[in-house]
Structures are given as C-alpha cells and as structure tokens.
Amino acid sequence: MVQKAERVRAPQISGRTGTGRLGKPVGNVTRGTTNPNRMRRVDRWLTGPQAPRLRNAADPLVVDLGYGATPATAVELYERLSAVRQDVRVVGIEIEPERVSAAAPLERPGLAFRVGGFELPVPGRPVLVRAFNVLRQYEEADVPGIWRMVQDRLSADGLFIDGTCDEIGRRVTWVALDRERPLSLSMSVRFGSFDLPSDVAERLPKALIHRNVPGEPVHALMQAMDRAWLESAPLASFGTRQRWQAMCRSLRDAGWPVQDGPSRWRLGELTVDWDAVAPLDRP
C-alpha cells in the first residue's frame, strides 16, 4: 500500500538557499516503479530540439529528480546526454536513502546519486532537470509551488521537464518550463499503442490531467487531435506515421500553435505552446 503523499505548498518551500540545501529533503517517497528505456521519448527530445541548451551551458549539470527504485533511467540519461556533451554531469536524486545506496555502485565520472527532493541538493544550477512520474502523486494545488521551487534552482537558460508516462514508455507527455514560466506541452506516442490520439490524456502531467473536461483548453486540444486524426483516415494505407504527420499539419493549419515540424512529428511527437493548453484559472 502506498502512503498518501503529504501536501507540498508554496509557503512550505520558502527559505531556500542558492545551493539548494534545506536540510530535510522536500517531498514524499514515490512508488518508485520504473523500467529500462522508459524515458527514451523524452530523452530523444532532450538530445534533439533541446540539445543546444546542453551544448551551450557554462556548467553542463543535469538532474534526474526522483529516478525511482532502480537507477536505470538515470544511467540511460547520462549515456544519452554524453553523446551531446562528453563532460555532462548527471546527478540522480531520490528522497529514499536506500535507493541511493543501491545506485552507488553505478557511479562513475559524470554520474552520481544523492539523497534529496525538490530542493535539488546539488552545487551549482542545473541546465536540465527531468522529473518523471513524480508530481502525479501530489495534489494539483501543490504543482505551482513545486514548479516554482525547481525553477528557482535552474541556470539562466535551464529547463525543467515535468512529465508522465506509462509503464514502458509508449505514451508520454511532459511540460517544459524555464526559470520564468511554462513553455510547452509535448506528447509522444508509439504508433500502434492507441486507437485515438486522445488516449494519451490518461498520461497528462498533474497540472493538466484533471483538466481534460469540456471547457478547458487541453480538452479542446484532445478533441481537435481526434478530429484531425479521423479526417486523415484515408492516409492510413500509407502507415500510421503518415497519418500522424497529417494530423499535426491539420492542427497547425487550424491555428493551434504547433512547434517543430515533420522531423519531430514522424517520431510520434507533438508539441504545442503552453498558452494554448494552460488551465483557465492558472497561468
């Protein structure tokens, strides 16, 4: 049985320091469920459109926040980012000390593991922070405060990725935030893993998953995706990849602020501006 998470509100996370050290870690122990290669889709985005952030960083510090019961995805993140920048430093952070002790034998130059939480107990300011399947176990009302805490620890050009995925990484979504605000919502799916594109809604990040209801922008996007998908049915004979790309083009033509282009769409990826999906009662 998983213990109900304690609330994490913005007033509770004040008083942070420039080093990110607050003493007791901020957050709750997660279920820890993870699988090798589960984060491949978001990592492919980090080493693709976001690679310049890492290449140009004065300090190539990256944090994998809440990597889970096993460190497989943190190790994979290090190996994938090393292809972009050889001197990258990845720190896996877990609030459960036993998980950190179990990961310690895998440490190597450029890869380390530390006990901590949202305060990010690392020296310096990370250029990338990846937190997957972590915030989903908190209350929606806690999300803005948690976001703000992590954002305050980023480098000037840093990016915080708050995402959710299924058990083996077939349906993945994430919100990307810089130091000031949320920037985008991305979705990435394995072709053949869905009937309608809106099936990905069950893996929306905590900030949006309860907003997939009529009247909310993210619900409008899900409906628009399904309509464009159905209208692209004649392309099914050419393959799901072609149909997905046609859906993305239709969304862009209809006025949705779709980012990137065919080189990303063909991977089963779709990214839109945050302003197009932000909850009506929050920025």
Question: How many Å apart are CA 185 and CA 216, to the nearest integer?
Answer: 15
Inter-CA distances, 49 with 106, 202, 210, 217, Å: 29, 25, 28, 25
Residue 148 CA, chain-centre distance (Å), reads: 15
Give the closest residue to 60 by CA, choosing from 131, 125, 147: 125
193 CB burial (10 A radius; 0-12, 13-18, 19+): middle
Domain spans, the chain: 10-211+256-276
Question: How many Å apart are CA 17 and CA 160, to the nearest integer?
Answer: 18
pLDDT for residue 282: 66
pLDDT, tens digit, 9 for 90 and up, residues 37-69: 999 999 999 999 999 999 999 999 999 999 999
Give the closest residue to 39 by CA, choosing from 75, 85, 69: 75
* Counts for the chain of helices (H) and strands (E), in that order: 9, 8
pLDDT for residue 30: 74
Per-residue DSSP letter, 274: G
Helix (H, G, I), strand (E, B) or coil at 92: strand
Decide yes or no: CATH 3.40.50.150 for domain 10-211+256-276: yes
Mean pLDDT, consecutive 10-residue stretches, the chain (283 aa), reads 45 39 74 82 97 98 95 97 98 96 97 97 97 93 96 98 95 98 98 96 97 98 98 94 97 97 97 97 67
pLDDT for residue 4: 44
Please state the pTM of the whole predicted model.
0.90
